[in-house]
Amino acid sequence: MSSERQTVRAPMGAPGEFFQVGVVTADLEAAIESSLRLSHAQSAARLDTAYHARFRDAEVEIRNRNAFIPLGPRIHLELVEPVSGDGVQSAWLETRGPGVFHLAYAVDDPGDFDGGDIDIPFLTEHGTRYLDTTKQLGYYTELSPAARAGRLRDWVERTVAGDEPDFASTVMNQPTVH
């Protein structure tokens, strides 16, 4: 980690390579359909998640339905439908309604940036930081190690192409569990 800490800036002065728009929705299937139509993409990569997080000083179990849609060679859309648990996505949907709730950047070292972290071990144990930048920018900021962001892009591209690689081994760099 470098000795000089940086501050997350607005997208045009972003700290790394922009790679993801996160959108929260109450109806994943409808959001996939409209996003495919608007983006002219052919298909979406689907992933259901269940993980432990700390949100608003409470330990919570979160379940989401997710879809990833390529928007270009290095950028994708992540659609998230909260299923259970009071977390970032469900709170956003409840207070602001459906829409963009995070932008993600691939950076060399997410630890080099100041910000109010939201504790999501599912992400942090792999080096990703989720920062509460809603007051400054109007959305959350996700900072992922460049290697993990690259693996996620690869998983999305391979999955929508019909290859169906395992998420845990491809993106999270973990052995496949059968």
Q: What pTM, to 2 d.p., does this model score?
A: 0.80
Beta strands 76-84 and 17-24: pairing type? parallel
What residue ranges define each of the domains in the chain, with the CATH number in brackets? 39-170 (3.10.180.10)
What pLDDT does 66 receive?
92
* Ramachandran sector of residue 164 (left: φ over 0; alpha: ψ -120 to 50; beta: rest): left
What pLDDT does 120 receive?
54
Q: Which of 129, 162, 163, 98 is nearest to 16 (CA)?
A: 129
* Distances 50 to 6, 60, 122, 137, 143 between C-alpha atoms, Å: 31, 11, 9, 28, 20
pLDDT-flagged residues of the chain (< 50) = 1-13, 121, 174-178
Q: Where are the alpha helices (DSSP H) in 24-176?
A: 28-39, 88-96, 121-124, 134-137, 146-160, 167-170
Q: How far apart are CA 26 and CA 83, in angstroms?
A: 9
pLDDT tens figures, 111-154: 666 555 555 545 555 567 777 788 888 888 888 888 888 888 88
Q: How far apart are CA 114 and CA 130, in angstroms?
A: 11
Q: How far apart are CA 63 and CA 55, in angstroms?
A: 14
Beta strands 58-70 and 76-84: pairing type? antiparallel
147 three-class SS: helix
